Amino acid sequence: MVTIRLPTRDGPLIPYTMGEPRFFGSARHKKLNRIAFAAPHMVSDPFAADNPWENPAIAWDDTLAYRRYIWNLGLGVAEAMDTSHRGAGLDWPTALKLIRRSIDASQDYENALIFAGAGTDHLAPGSSTTLDDVIAGYEYQCGEIEKLGGRIVLMASRGLARVARGPDDYHKVYARVLSQLKEPVILHWLGDMFDPLLKGYWGHQNLDQAMEVCLAVMAENRPKVVGIKLSLLDKEREEQMRRRLPSGVAMYTGDDFNYPDLIEGDEEGFSHALLGIFDPIAPAAAAALAALAEGDRRAFHDILDPTVPLARHMFRAPTRFFKTGVVFMAYLNGHQDHFVMLGGQQSARSLPHLALLFRLADQAGLLIDPEQAADRMKKVMAVYGVG
């Protein structure tokens, strides 16, 4: 048993004795009855000499190795989404390079599932942006991804949220963009808890009214929409929307608080998954989905439910800083040999926050090598002058 002294929120260091890791296996060669994407993080290059706040420095081999790890577990990859710092340090040229390299890497896996985020984040945020600029921005990014043979997650646009005067503008933009795509897309509704600049998306501050617009957009463009990723952290609203989706449109939960119940579903349906939390809990997610596919709902919850306290802590407000916990988990588990992030965002969460994350990950059986995890936790504490 490994014991480590960990900081608490308001008090001294307290000894914590770690449990045993759980070994979950892989779902790679198993037939699942849910489609499941992990939105994986980026691995930074800690030795790059450029300003880390302004110039993304990527450790490409380690970044792609993590995508291979996800595919080997039997999960899909949702590439260049917000977990990879899209709009928060990862610029469009680098995102496109990432998408190209990930699509190439996916060719090594039979039936590897990969979609990639297309948005308008290459547009300058100046006041001169118009609806036509937004449309052209979407067209450009979608076109570049389709040239690579990629499938698209059509991401919410900060530019559209800023310039749209009401729901009609959303109808116009989505109709124009969707009509030109080669294959159906997954739409993405990202709540303002993840990105404050998306507040009022779909032309309404009221989420019930916004949902009506989103449903109408999907119905009007049904042949071009295969699903929607909903990231509002609201279980009841997702269930309500799921019941009203146009025929043939799937719900992909982005609810990192309530994913076990939403994926399991009820007598009226279920959600597939496109989740940031599936990055740090990928082995548990794959094993739980395999159990669900075999009809073993008890095992599904036995594996996945212990991960929920970790997820709720990792995605707590300010939710947009969840990526710090995701990368911290990758560091603890040896997927990268440093805890350095794009834009220096390793500093976005406090040491007590990271210490509680360590405990919750351990209690869920997610720390693969307790001795290694404890040693790396001590190194992070030492940076803060604690030990």
Residues 284 and 243: their CA atoms lie apart, in Å, by 28
- Residue 329 has a pLDDT of 98
Mean pLDDT of 12-38: 91
Q: What pLDDT, in 10s, does the model give residues 4-16?
A: 999 988 778 999 9
Residues 22 and 348: their CA atoms lie apart, in Å, by 29
Burial (CB < 10 A; 0-12, 13-18, 19+), residue 125, is exposed
Which amino acid, residue 328?
A: F
Residues 242 and 217: their CA atoms lie apart, in Å, by 15
Burial (CB < 10 A; 0-12, 13-18, 19+), residue 110, is exposed
Determine the 3-state secondary structure of 255 from DSSP: coil
Read off the pTM. Answer: 0.96
Token look-up 């279920």 returns 270
Which amino acid, residue 77?
A: V
Mean pLDDT of 335-362: 96
- Residue 127 has a pLDDT of 64
Which amino acid, residue 104?
A: D
- Residue 87 has a pLDDT of 85
Q: Domain 27-320: which CATH class?
A: alpha beta
Evaluate whether 87 touches 195 at the Cβ level (below 8 Å): yes
Where does the chain show beta strands of DSSP type E? 3-6, 14-17, 36-38, 76-79, 114-118, 151-154, 185-190, 225-231, 250-253, 272-275
Integer-rounded Cα radius of gyration of the chain: 20
pLDDT confidence bin for 128, thresholds 50/70/90: low
% of residues, the chain, pLDDT over 90: 90
Residues 64 and 36: their CA atoms lie apart, in Å, by 19
Residues 263 and 285: their CA atoms lie apart, in Å, by 11
Structural tokens at position 105:
């890497």
335 Cβ neighbours under 8 A, 6+ residues apart:
43, 62, 65, 66, 69
Q: What pLDDT, in 10s, does the model give residues 317-329?
A: 999 999 999 999 9
pLDDT confidence bin for 348, thresholds 50/70/90: very high
